Amino acid sequence: MGTILIVSLVAIYYNMIIAYVLFYLFASLTSDLPWQHCGNWWNTDLCLDHHVIKAGNATFPVNISNTVSPSEEYWSRYVLHIQGSSGIGDPGSIRWNLCLCLLLSWTIVYLCILKGVKSSGKVVYFTATFPYLILVMLLIRGVTLEGAWKGIRFYLTPQFDHLLSSKVWIEAALQIFYSLGVGFGGLLTFASYNTFHQNIYRDTFIVTLGNAITSILAGFAIFSVLGYMSQELGVPVNQVAKAGPGLAFVVYPQAMTMLPLSPFWSFLFFFMLLTLGLDSQFAFMETIVTAVTDEFPYYLRPKKAFFSAAICIALFLMGLILTTEGGMYWLVLLDDYSAGFGLMVVVITTCLVVTRVYGMKRFCRDIHMMLGFKPGPYFRACWMILSPATMMALLVYNIVKYQPSEYGSYRFPAWAEVLGILMGLFSCLMIPAGMVVAVLREEGTLWEDLSSPMPLVQSVHRAAHVQHPSCVYQGCA
């Protein structure tokens, strides 16, 4: 239940990010990008066109510290219309263009998961491979730009002072969780549709290696363009590089305006983000739908399409707050608290249950039964000691060095911080609650159930040897 709660909260705001991508994707279908120049109704007197900055730097340096780029004002004042909200407690009115994009996003997701892995699996053939073609195109274009070496050098130069920040370490761990799907249940959900003797060792190696290579290539593609921006604007790379939504919806769109055929490159970039985002959203939704239908197979499995629609509609309605003028504040709150603390606890608990409760010998024996060989000492050491110890250290360090959420110069009020902390704690409380329910369902006295882990071991052991029931009917093998 803890994982389902985490995945549900993440799916709400993650699909809002896909809605932003759709908004920019449609906005790129023009001959002149709307965030390319100042002078629009949403621009302020602080707006300064990059062409003006480049021309000014040719004669005398232009101080851009008190200026705002057209892409930044397009994002904050037109797309978000955040000036209509005074903070997270004042959401303002719904931005109907964003609401329609969110509705379209959920419609796409529903149509792709309508028939379970049969439909989403076929869609993923395109959404998982086509981004590589676009990424290579952006990489080749980026490294051929003047000043690209500045961004690449900044990308490859380590900044050791940031290693003292707990936020960097926890964000690094969460990035691995997000990119590999660890802890979200998606890997377990899709793996349950495999045949029993599927070579998971080979699959794991391919996925992890591909994830690392993709991240490195994406870094070169992004920072080569940032280096070009640095060259054009005459400022250091660290002044044009931003983390979070600012990179995807402010900095990179601004960089696209500096290139010939800017709408073409902008469309390719946001289409790549769309396909990447849909991949993750498919996994989130399949996890939710499969977990609940497997819990109530008699009632829900014959009506899986209807149940999937109900889940999408419910999450869409809960995500309407994100389409308001103050929706970005709620998105940041969900992003900071929905998966951070709770996800770390879920992953640590999973490691401890598998290695300590179920037992490492049983686990290795099951893998030997599936693959024909047992895991080596490196994997056993990771499962037993290295992984849980590292994650526990990160969790404790993150609690000790806790930093409140913020969005730009805005600081969240105390009640919002408490709400975010409760989101993380509530997902953690689902773990002991589920244990209590499992114990109460077993025969015998409460003390007998608590003193003997065998009921849990037997249930986990049965689950390890049973293929997903849907495969029996759908022929997943």
Q: What is the pLDDT of residue 263?
A: 92
Query: Quick one: average pLDDT of 265-276?
Result: 90
Q: Would you call 68 helix, strand, or coil by DSSP?
A: strand
Residue range of the domain that includes 393 = 2-474
Question: How many Cβ atoms are within 10 Å of 388's Cβ, its own excluded?
Answer: 19
Name 7's Cβ contacts closer than 8 Å, sequence gap at least 6: 184, 185, 186, 284, 287, 288
Q: What is the pLDDT, as a whole number, of residue 338?
A: 84
Which position has the token pair 């379970």?
116
Residue 176, token pair as written in the block: 């691995």
The per-residue pLDDT for range 91-144, each reduced to its tens digit, is: 889 999 999 999 999 999 998 888 766 666 677 777 778 888 888 888 898 898
N-to-C CA span, the chain: 28
| Mean pLDDT value of segment 326-351 | 88
Q: What angle do CA 171, 172, 177 make, to 5 degrees?
A: 90
d(CA 78, CA 42): 6
* Residue in the structure block whose two tokens are 């077993």: 442
Longest dimension (CA), the chain: 86
Under the banding of pLDDT at 50, 70 and 90, the label for residue 476 is very low
Give the residue from 438, 440, 470 showing the smallest Cα distance to 457: 438
Neighbours of 148 (CB within 10 A): 21
Q: Is the pLDDT of residue 302 over 60?
A: yes
Q: Is the pLDDT of residue 446 over 80?
A: no
HSE value, Cβ hemisphere, 13 Å, CA-based, for 125: 6
Give the pLDDT score at 325. Answer: 93
Total domains in the chain come to 1
> What is the reported pTM?
0.85
